[in-house]
Amino acid sequence: MDKNVKKVVDLLNQGRARELSAILQYMAQHYELENQDFGKLAKLVKQTAIAEMKHAEAFGERILFLGGVPTSKPDAEVKKGETISAMCATGMALEAQATKMYNAAAVACAEAGDHVTKSLFEKILAEEEDHFETFRQIKDHVDQLGATYLATLTGEGE
């Protein structure tokens, strides 16, 4: 495998490992929130996990196309038993790390002459920024409004 292709495959696998961690984290949060009757928030977190699954799949398909082997190992441990504010902070940290990683990966892919993979990183990067903003807004609401806001997140997700 050409050294530039190997570098790109390594970057894709780093991204895939990050996505796998996010999937596991968000699904664990989804189950905890559902169990605590925060169905509306649980649904939102589950939708985010599904978006992360699509990212991991896109990275995996590109890795295969380039002749590599997609990783199946996440790069972080799942945190459980957090408050809703802490769950949001965990999500923000995952998304901020991914954003930083994908920005650097896009630049490296361009330097390696792989503009298709660069575009993939940029597309997913934009979605990660949206996820970060969603978690930030929820955390801000929880921190500022407390139980009043939390009450709006209970019950069935729509």
* DSSP states of 123-151: HHHHHHHHHHHHHHHHHHHHHHHTHHHHH
Segment 6-31 shows an average pLDDT of 98
pLDDT tens, position by position, 76-105: 999 999 999 999 999 999 999 999 999 999
Split at pLDDT 50, 70, 90, the class of 157 is low
Phi first, then psi: give them for residue 38, nearest 5 degrees.
-100, 60
Specify the pTM: 0.94
Phi first, then psi: give them for residue 156, nearest 5 degrees.
-70, 140
Contact predicate 88/135, CB 8 Å: yes
Q: How far apart are the first and last CA of the chain?
A: 48
What's the DSSP call for residue 83? -
**pLDDT in the model for residue 158:** 53
The CATH code belonging to domain 3-68+83-151 is 1.20.1260.10
> Pick from 135, 127, 38: which is nearest to 93 by CA?
135
- Domain range annotation of the chain: 3-68+83-151
What's the rounded Cα separation, in Å, for the pair 99 and 8? 17
Split at pLDDT 50, 70, 90, the class of 156 is confident
- By CB atoms closer than 10 A (0-12, 13-18, 19+), residue 116 is exposed
